[in-house]
Amino acid sequence: MSLKELETPAALIDQSRMVRNIERMQQHLTRLGVTFRPHVKTSKCVQVWKAQADAGASGITVSTLQEAEQFFAAGETDILYAVSIIPSKLERALALRRKGCDLKLIVDNVESAEAVAGFGRAHGETFEVWIEIDTDGHRSGIQPEDALLLSVGRALHENGVRLGGVMTHAGSSYELNTPEALAAMAEQERAGCVRAAQRLRDAGLPCETVSVGSTPTALAAQRLDGVTEVRAGVYVFFDLVMHNVGVCKIDDIALSVLTTVIGHQIDKGWVIVDAGWMAMSRDRGTSKQSCDYGYGQVCALDGTVMTGYQMIGANQEHGIVALAQEACADAAGQCDIAERFPIGTKLRILPNHACATGAQYPVYQAQNADGEITGWPRSYGW
Amino acid sequence: MSLKELETPAALIDQSRMVRNIERMQQHLTRLGVTFRPHVKTSKCVQVWKAQADAGASGITVSTLQEAEQFFAAGETDILYAVSIIPSKLERALALRRKGCDLKLIVDNVESAEAVAGFGRAHGETFEVWIEIDTDGHRSGIQPEDALLLSVGRALHENGVRLGGVMTHAGSSYELNTPEALAAMAEQERAGCVRAAQRLRDAGLPCETVSVGSTPTALAAQRLDGVTEVRAGVYVFFDLVMHNVGVCKIDDIALSVLTTVIGHQIDKGWVIVDAGWMAMSRDRGTSKQSCDYGYGQVCALDGTVMTGYQMIGANQEHGIVALAQEACADAAGQCDIAERFPIGTKLRILPNHACATGAQYPVYQAQNADGEITGWPRSYGW
């Protein structure tokens, strides 16, 4: 299958860029002396995970038990489920462990810690649980100095649960856009998580693993003393949000949406394409960043960026491509769009957010350096 | 299966509300003397379509050929594919017609009209094509007075294609919010499409079908002289966007996301739930409307609206529920959220946009009036 034969819309992976992104992250973290546990929520794709594992990754992070089941079936046993566990999900977690999956859970409160302990006792299973630490205030977790940390640690350790470590995710790094701010956030994430680990150890509790990470902080980190592993997900494809954050170049973005021109509104300078928000996702992550890319940056079929052309609007299965009013860089002048983009023209749209865009597709179309395309299935649901 | 046993997140359909919405639309359009062709892109679910058909719908509208294939396999033969056809999709359209599907295509330009004609001739197939009319400037289509209309009509009719009619979709009705503006847009949509039909007929071209519609204009229409059928999709579930437009009440919304409390950030008044943007979609359609509902309106498990509580933020699998800063109605005072929403509490979140939220799920959980829940599969992809 070649690019021209593909039906549209399609989610295209540029394998060369993907492998480059994987090597960059792996080499950076190896240099910093930590292991790397990629977050597979971005791709939910076994072939992508295999490339990460081949490059040296150690275990995976998942955002759903469905991912854990999928990747365990594909051969991965070292899995961190990085959403605070609740009692109603323990049966499924137990089933995975009983099959031989070394599934780790997380909690950030005493109720959940006690629930895991009670359930484990009732079923004769020693669960491994890590404590989620809040190092940037953006979501879940316990602050490193909070008394709650030791209460949760004890509720686990003293009740038959293996307290395996601490983990944190400084997701607010997505809101930054200078190397200095990113490096500072990486240090804040590291220091907070290491401090939490130290407090547990000082209280006589075990804390083997210290796990940190987000794509921006992982790449910005200059030292990771006290950290044992890093997690990151979107780095594997990158996207326009990450470009605005400053951690990739436009031509590092390995995921694009292939689309076909289906019509024009010539007076308005609009090209209508067959990729709408169903194909791009509704993610408008660049709308509050330094450069707003609408629903995506338009490229020619060969990947050449068409400066100034964006998907400025999207209905379910229709996208509107046009010169952006406030193009981020110098744009060519208005032209006859029907002449420049005839019906049937294929374009590639770089997405705002690779995790959200990928999620719209049952299968990726992965193109290798020779231009050959292979379908790589991805999962969805819970 | 009962509501309490369901794993979360889940996409819940309230069947009683859904049936009420279906009956309301069908009865309104029957009164106005037109047939109704529901757009199945909202649900992509055979069980929902059957309820629409049972109530009197006639044929369906689809947004992808995948939907056409799915619903044809389920027994529907009268299908309008309402996205302008391109040459690369004609093989798939032909295959459907050869199996007995009465598939109608649309075009809004001469190139595509000629492509259908040439492909039909080459394969000995008489395609039926409708011309897309632009009655509100929001997307695709030919304006009723544009000379292009007759050129496209002739390119079809004189080249062996069955010119079946005209169709339009006044999607800009989503931006309105008064009964007067909606009624005016419905009349604009009707008049423009009827005028296009008249111009074709005056030029000696056939134009049997005059098809109009969007949920807001369909419900606001007071007369539909000259129209033969109406199309609408989201009315079957409704959502917060439609509530802000003014065409449904909050308790008409038949789709909600079931979620479970997994944590708290007590100082901030945040409840963390296991539905993030993957479960809600990234659709923020209410952000520019009179009432911004964040990622959704929070309800108790029994469906009671919890005034002022919204999903104010969303990560991939985490939602942040809190009292909205600018709640639309009187909100109860701040309280101890860990006491009000203990770990494990189940909530229902009403979505901004039912089409986008539904698309995140492989299966709906449909609850009947007796509280019993049945899985209703939905399709995705292209």
Q: To the nearest whole percent, how much of chain B has pLDDT over 70?
A: 97
How near does any CA of chain A get to the CA of B344, in Å? 6
| The domain boundary residue, chosen from B212, B237, B262 | B237
Instruction: Encode chain A (382 residues) as per-residue pLDDT tens digits.
Output: 888 889 999 999 999 999 999 999 999 999 999 999 999 999 999 999 999 999 999 999 999 999 999 999 999 999 999 999 999 999 999 999 999 999 999 999 999 999 999 999 999 999 999 999 999 999 999 999 999 999 999 999 999 999 999 999 999 999 999 999 999 999 999 999 999 999 999 999 999 999 999 999 999 999 999 999 999 999 999 999 999 999 999 999 999 999 999 999 999 999 999 999 999 999 999 999 999 999 999 999 999 999 999 999 999 999 999 999 755 444 445 578 999 999 999 999 999 999 999 999 999 999 999 999 999 999 999 9
Is B345 within the bounds of a domain?
yes
Burial A330-364 (b: 16+ CB within 10 A, else e): eeeeeeebbeebebebbbbbbbbbbbbbbbbbbeb
What the block records as the tokens of A317 is: 């299965």
CATH of the domain at A217: 3.20.20.10
Domain count across chain A: 2
| The domain boundary residue, chosen from B237, B272, B296 | B237
Is B245 within the bounds of a domain?
no
The mean pLDDT of B36-64, rounded to a whole number, is 98
The torsion angles phi and psi of B132, rounded to 5 degrees, stand at -85, 130
Interval B80-111: pLDDT, tens: 999 999 999 999 999 999 999 999 999 999 99
**Nearest residue of B to residue A377, measured between CA atoms:** B381
What the block records as the tokens of B314 is: 């969303």
Is A4 within the bounds of a domain?
no
Contact B173, B179 (CB under 8 A): no
* A302 in the same domain as A171: no
DSSP code for A181: H
How near does any CA of chain B get to the CA of A87, in Å? 7
How near does any CA of chain A get to the CA of B10, in Å? 9
User: How many C-beta atoms surround the C-beta of residue A170 within 10 A?
Assistant: 27
Q: Which of B88, B140, B380 sits opposite A318 (nearest CB)?
A: B140
Yes or no, beta carbons of A318 and B9 under 8 Å apart: no
Yes or no, beta carbons of A263 and B108 under 8 Å apart: yes
What confidence score (pLDDT) does residue A204 get?
98
Task: With beta carbons under 8 A apart, name residues in chain B contacting A361.
Answer: 381
Yes or no, beta carbons of B265 and A362 under 8 Å apart: no
* B186 in the same domain as B165: yes
Q: Which of A63, A283, A318 sits opposite B83 (nearest CB)?
A: A318
Q: Indicate if the pLDDT at residue B163 is higher than 60.
A: yes
For strands A297-300 and A305-314, give the pairing.
antiparallel
How near does any CA of chain A get to the CA of B362, in Å? 6
DSSP E strands: which ranges in chain B?
10-14, 35-36, 60-62, 78-81, 102-107, 128-133, 162-168, 209-212, 229-230, 255-265, 270-273, 297-300, 305-314, 319-323, 346-350, 363-367, 373-377
Task: With beta carbons under 8 A apart, name residues in chain B contacting A92.
Answer: 7
Largest Cα–Cα separation, chain B? 73
How near does any CA of chain A get to the CA of B363, in Å? 8
**Of residues B313, B268, B306, the one with CA closest to residue B287:** B313
What confidence score (pLDDT) does residue B39 get?
98
**Of residues A49, A39, A26, the one with CA closest to residue A171:** A39
User: How many C-beta atoms surround the C-beta of residue B136 within 10 A?
Assistant: 20
Q: Indicate if the pLDDT at residue B325 is higher than 90.
A: no
Task: With beta carbons under 8 A apart, name residues in chain A contacting B376.
Answer: none
ipTM over 0.85? The verdict is yes
| The domain boundary residue, chosen from A190, A215, A237 | A237
* B207 in the same domain as B165: yes
Alpha helix ranges (H) inside B271-321: 277-280
* A174 in the same domain as A36: yes
* B259 in the same domain as B305: yes
- Mutation target to probe the B interface, by most B beta carbons within 10 A, among A70, A315, A339, A352 is A315
Burial B106-124 (b: 16+ CB within 10 A, else e): bbbbebbbbbbbebbeeee
How near does any CA of chain A get to the CA of B304, in Å? 23
* B352 in the same domain as B281: yes
Yes or no, beta carbons of B140 and A272 under 8 Å apart: yes
Residues sharing a CB contact under 8 Å with residue B194, sequence separation 6 or more, in sequence order:
B210, B225, B226, B227
Q: Which of A63, A315, A317 sits opposite B317 (nearest CB)?
A: A63
Using DSSP's 3-state secondary structure scheme, residue B249 falls into coil
**Nearest residue of A to residue B274, measured between CA atoms:** A83
What confidence score (pLDDT) does residue A322 get?
97
CATH of the domain at B356: 2.40.37.20
How near does any CA of chain B get to the CA of A297, in Å? 18
Q: Which of B88, B140, B262 sits opposite A84 (nearest CB)?
A: B262
Place of tokens 């056809």: B85
Q: Which of A83, A281, A356 sits opposite B318 (nearest CB)?
A: A83
Radius of gyration, CA atoms only, chain B? 22
What confidence score (pLDDT) does residue B329 get?
44
How near does any CA of chain A get to the CA of B88, in Å? 7
Burial B3-12 (b: 16+ CB within 10 A, else e): beebbbbbbb
* A180 in the same domain as A72: yes
Interval A190-226: pLDDT, tens: 999 999 999 999 999 999 999 999 999 999 999 999 9
> Which amino acid is present at B33?
G
Yes or no, beta carbons of B9 and A283 under 8 Å apart: no
Yes or no, beta carbons of A380 and B363 under 8 Å apart: no
Q: Which of A84, A282, A343 sits opposite B281 (nearest CB)?
A: A282
- How far, CA to CA in Å, does B3 sit from each of A19, B11, B341, B347? 44, 11, 18, 11
What the block records as the tokens of B215 is: 């949920």
**Nearest residue of A to residue B355, measured between CA atoms:** A316
The mean pLDDT of B180-196, rounded to a whole number, is 98
* B286 in the same domain as B195: no
Is A173 within the bounds of a domain?
yes
Provide the residue range defining the domain that includes B147: 17-237
DSSP code for A306: E
The mean pLDDT of B39-49, rounded to a whole number, is 98
Instruction: Please return the burial class of A289, using the count of CB atoms within 10 Å of its CB with bins 0-12, 13-18 and 19+.
Output: middle
Is B2 within the bounds of a domain?
no
- Mutation target to probe the A interface, by most A beta carbons within 10 A, among B3, B39, B88, B266 is B88
Task: With beta carbons under 8 A apart, name residues in chain A contacting B380.
Answer: 360, 362, 380
Interval A19-47: pLDDT, tens: 999 999 999 999 999 999 999 999 999 99
Is A2 within the bounds of a domain?
no
Yes or no, beta carbons of A262 and B361 under 8 Å apart: no
* A266 in the same domain as A184: no
Interval B205-246: pLDDT, tens: 999 999 999 999 999 999 999 999 999 999 999 999 999 999
Is B242 within the bounds of a domain?
no
**Nearest residue of A to residue B234, measured between CA atoms:** A316
Is B308 within the bounds of a domain?
yes
Interval A80-92: pLDDT, tens: 999 999 999 999 9
Yes or no, beta carbons of A316 and B63 under 8 Å apart: yes
* B276 in the same domain as B136: no
Assign B27 a pLDDT band (cuts: 50, 70, 90).
very high
* B23 in the same domain as B89: yes
Yes or no, beta carbons of A7 and B108 under 8 Å apart: no
Yes or no, beta carbons of B381 and A363 under 8 Å apart: yes
Residues sharing a CB contact under 8 Å with residue B200, sequence separation 6 or more, in sequence order:
B131, B149, B150, B153, B163, B166, B206, B207
* B142 in the same domain as B22: yes
**Of residues B62, B131, B48, B134, the one with CA closest to residue B93:** B62
The mean pLDDT of B45-73, rounded to a whole number, is 98
